[in-house]
């Protein structure tokens, strides 16, 4: 059964140095506040997993929390590069970052295999690309050709993703810790069900979840920790609660481009802004 | 991603007052037929698809990889997951579903792709620039949905600025496959879509030769010479014997495009 705790307690209990951690949310419902709490608690040597690292992992990578990254698209959506990610890969700052990369379809299927309790998933794809011959983390390939036992067709197998911890943001939980999210639901259900532990931050805690067609419901017994963090997806958004802060994504480009400016942002907007961290950021102008 | 078009809507479009982005966007929009299903990325592709929907193709079905099928945004979203896409979609599905049930089986007519590097067979690199993957000169964003879009959409339209840096003899990394090493390679690799149908650049349009699959210059914008296109290509570019001069955007197309941009929230600052 999920325990309803503070964000700081949830991160302290669920995420440890050296863990593999998936923070999911496909553009929508990205758990930024939880990411900032991981930075504040100074977790190290994490293997970060996420289809689109986005600004949230740019921040964690720049803060020195990660040594490895499993991903499929590492850009600032609609804006350009993730400069902290690039600095880590190109210049090993603040430390080296080992990569394992896939296509979106590959990552989505890897999560689905993890949720299904299978060792791998099968898809068409990867054929002829450079991705199929990359070595993977520690030289362990996560992509292999496979022959269909029925038709003989050549397909691609991708290894299951089973993170130590998955962290997501949702619109609602009830007092029993049942979680409901809707809108663009991405790969969050698969990422939670495939993980050993899970943390969910929510916009609000309600007496009872209102029935909602097409919502994803994660029953309390599939979740370990629930924390109420209104605005916890900012600068991403929570449909029905907030709008995507596009200005933040644009402003992040200049902040992240320069190491010193990034470090100032980290000091004022993460370490200096514990409550609620998700509401701080470039949009507030505090970083200057 | 480049910012596009900052002029206020309602300016009477003048000849010579057309940006390269607007030429490319209009050219890409014209490649879409009404009723097509279209897998869209952010930037020029999204602008082109929404321009087509606002002009000659009102029933174009826009599909974004965030799982929004049949999205009808009234402006140009900054990300593939903006709320307006979910709010206006016919259906919103999960990310595993959009790739497995919709893209992989070949249900989608046309997909748009960009490129940091492109070779003569339309193979695309968006992963790394440099001679070694492990120690790249430039780390690019990576694959995203592109390899499967390239593999499984019935056809692909590539939008990319043309220069010797981007149009190269050999791509440093094959992120998404065009025609591979040449005729027959897509079939051998099990890629069910037909491959790149058009490459739209800031100089003109390239199309694959039906036999050799080599990208061939088939059209240029007014005032662009084939020599300029050759100079902007890192391989010996083939020029079609029936090279066309492409129509610039019509006043109606320019007005529609600029209106879409003006509708975009924060378009003066954020986009």
For residue B267, name the pLDDT band (cuts at 50, 70, 90). low
pLDDT confidence of residue B16: 62
Chain A contact set for B92 (CB, 8 A): 183-185, 214
The verdict on A73 and A198 lying in the same domain is: yes
The verdict on A190 and A207 lying in the same domain is: yes
Token pair of A247, please? 């200005």
The verdict on A225 and A141 lying in the same domain is: no
The verdict on A8 and A43 lying in the same domain is: yes
Which domain range does residue A126 map to?
A: 104-159
User: What is the SS3 assignment for chain A?
Assistant: CCEECCHHHHHHHHCCCCCEEEECCCCCCCCHHHHHHHHHCCCCCEEEEECCCHHHHHHHHHCCCEEEEEECCCEECCCEECHHHHHHHHHCCCCCCEEEECCHHHHHHHHHHHHHCCCEEEECCCCCCHHHHCCCHHHCCCEEEEECCCCCCEEEEEECCCCCEEEEEEEEEECCCCEEECCCCCCHHHHHHCCCEEEEEEEEEECCCCCCCCCEEECHHHCCEEEECCCCCCCCCCCCCCCCCHHHHHHHHHHHHCHHHHHHHHHHHHHCCCCCHHHCCHHHCCCC
pLDDT tens profile A178-211: 999 999 999 999 999 999 999 999 999 999 999 9
Q: Which of A139, A159, A179 is the last residue of a domain?
A: A159
Judged by CB atoms closer than 8 Å, whether chains meet at A129 and B80 is answered as no
| Nearest residue in chain A measured CA to CA from B94 | A186
CATH at A238? 3.40.1080.10
The verdict on A113 and A218 lying in the same domain is: no
- Say if residue B227 is preceded by a cis peptide, omega within 30 of 0: no
pLDDT confidence of residue A17: 98
For residue B191, name the pLDDT band (cuts at 50, 70, 90). very high
C-alpha span between B10 and B7 (Å, rounded): 9
| Nearest residue in chain A measured CA to CA from B44 | A78
The verdict on A14 and A125 lying in the same domain is: no
Mean pLDDT of the region A55-80? 96
Q: Catalytic residue at B65?
A: yes
The verdict on A177 and A272 lying in the same domain is: yes
Q: With a cut of 70, say whether residue A276 has pLDDT above it.
A: no
pLDDT tens profile B228-254: 999 999 999 999 999 999 999 999 999
Q: With a cut of 70, say whether residue A280 has pLDDT above it.
A: no
Mean pLDDT of the region B68-85? 89
For residue A51, name the pLDDT band (cuts at 50, 70, 90). very high
pLDDT tens profile A140-163: 899 999 999 999 999 999 999 999
Mean pLDDT, chain A, rounded, equals 94
For residue A278, name the pLDDT band (cuts at 50, 70, 90). very low
Q: With a cut of 50, say whether residue A113 has pLDDT above it.
A: yes
ipTM over 0.90: yes
Domain B20-200+249-263 CATH superfamily = Glutaconate Coenzyme A-transferase (3.40.1080.10)
The verdict on A221 and A268 lying in the same domain is: yes
Mean pLDDT of the region A243-253? 95
The verdict on A172 and A237 lying in the same domain is: yes
Q: Which of A140, A159, A178 is the last residue of a domain?
A: A159
The verdict on A187 and A66 lying in the same domain is: yes
pLDDT confidence of residue A275: 52
pLDDT confidence of residue A281: 41
pLDDT confidence of residue B266: 61
Q: How many independent structural domains does chain A possess? A: 2
Chain B contact set for A124 (CB, 8 A): 104, 148, 151-152, 190, 192
To test the contact with chain A by mutation, choose from B123, B147, B150, B192 the residue with the greatest count of A C-beta atoms within 10 A, namely B147
Q: Which of A159, A180, A204 is the last residue of a domain?
A: A159
Q: Parse chain B into domains and list their residue ranges.
A: 20-200+249-263
- What percentage of chain A reaches a pLDDT higher than 70? 95
> Which of B133, B152, B189 is the closest to A128 by Cβ?
B189
The verdict on A56 and A95 lying in the same domain is: yes
The verdict on A127 and A243 lying in the same domain is: no
């Amino acid at each position: 059964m999920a325990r309803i705790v503070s964000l700081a307690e949830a991160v302290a209990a669920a995420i440890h140095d050296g863990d593999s951690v998936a923070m999911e949310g496909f553009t929508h419902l990205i758990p930024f506040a939880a990411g900032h709490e991981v930075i504040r608690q100074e977790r190290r040597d994490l293997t970060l997993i996420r289809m689109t690292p986005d600004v949230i992992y740019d921040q964690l990578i720049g803060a020195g929390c990660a040594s490895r990254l499993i991903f499929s698209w590492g850009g600032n959506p609609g804006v350009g590069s993730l400069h902290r990610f690039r600095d880590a890969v190109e210049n090993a700052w603040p430390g080296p970052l080992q990569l394992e990369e896939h296509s979106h379809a590959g990552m989505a299927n890897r999560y689905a295999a993890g949720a299904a309790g299978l060792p791998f998933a099968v898809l068409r794809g990867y054929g002829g690309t450079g991705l199929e011959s990359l070595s993977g983390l520690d030289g362990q390939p996560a992509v292999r050709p496979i022959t269909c036992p029925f038709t003989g067709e050549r397909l691609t197998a991708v290894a299951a993703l089973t993170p130590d911890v998955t962290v997501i943001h949702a619109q609602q939980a009830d007092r029993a810790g049942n979680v409901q999210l809707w809108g663009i639901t991405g790969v969050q259900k698969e990422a939670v069900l495939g993980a050993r532990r899970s943390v969910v931050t929510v916009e609000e805690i309600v007496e009872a979840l209102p029935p909602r067609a097409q919502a994803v419901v994660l029953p309390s017994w599939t979740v370990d920790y629930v924390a109420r963090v209104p605005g916890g997806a900012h600068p991403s958004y929570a449909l029905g609660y907030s709008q995507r802060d596009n200005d933040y994504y644009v402003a992040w480009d200049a902040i992240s481009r320069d190491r010193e400016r990034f470090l100032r942002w980290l000091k004022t907007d993460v370490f200096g802004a514990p409550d609620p961290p998700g509401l701080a950021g470039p949009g507030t102008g505090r970083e200057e | 991603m480049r910012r596009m078009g900052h002029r206020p809507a309602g300016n009477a479009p003048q000849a010579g007052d057309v940006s390269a982005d607007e030429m490319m966007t209009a050219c890409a929009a014209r490649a879409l037929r009404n009723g097509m299903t279209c897998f869209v990325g952010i930037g020029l592709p999204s602008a082109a698809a929404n321009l087509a929907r606002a002009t000659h193709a009102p029933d174009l079905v826009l599909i974004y990889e965030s799982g929004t099928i049949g999205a009808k945004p009234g402006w140009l979203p900054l990300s593939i997951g903006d709320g307006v896409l979910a709010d206006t979609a016919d259906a919103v599905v999960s990310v595993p579903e959009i790739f497995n049930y919709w893209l992989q089986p070949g249900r989608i007519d046309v997909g748009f792709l960009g490129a940091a590097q492109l070779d003569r067979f339309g193979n695309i690199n968006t992963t790394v620039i440099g001679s070694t993957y492990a120690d790249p000169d430039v780390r690019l964003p990576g694959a995203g949905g592109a390899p499967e879009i390239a593999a499984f959409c019935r056809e692909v339209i590539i939008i990319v600025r043309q220069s010797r840096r981007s149009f190269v003899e050999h791509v440093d990394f094959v992120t998404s496959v065009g025609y591979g090493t040449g005729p027959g390679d897509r079939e051998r690799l099990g890629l069910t879509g037909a491959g790149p149908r058009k490459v739209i650049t800031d100089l003109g349009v390239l199309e694959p030769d039906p036999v050799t699959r080599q990208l061939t210059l088939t059209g240029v914008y007014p005032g662009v010479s084939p020599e300029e296109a050759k100079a902007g290509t890192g391989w010996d570019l083939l020029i079609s014997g029936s090279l066309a001069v492409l129509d610039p955007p019509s006043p109606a197309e320019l007005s529609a495009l600029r209106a879409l941009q003006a509708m975009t929230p924060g378009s003066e600052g954020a986009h």
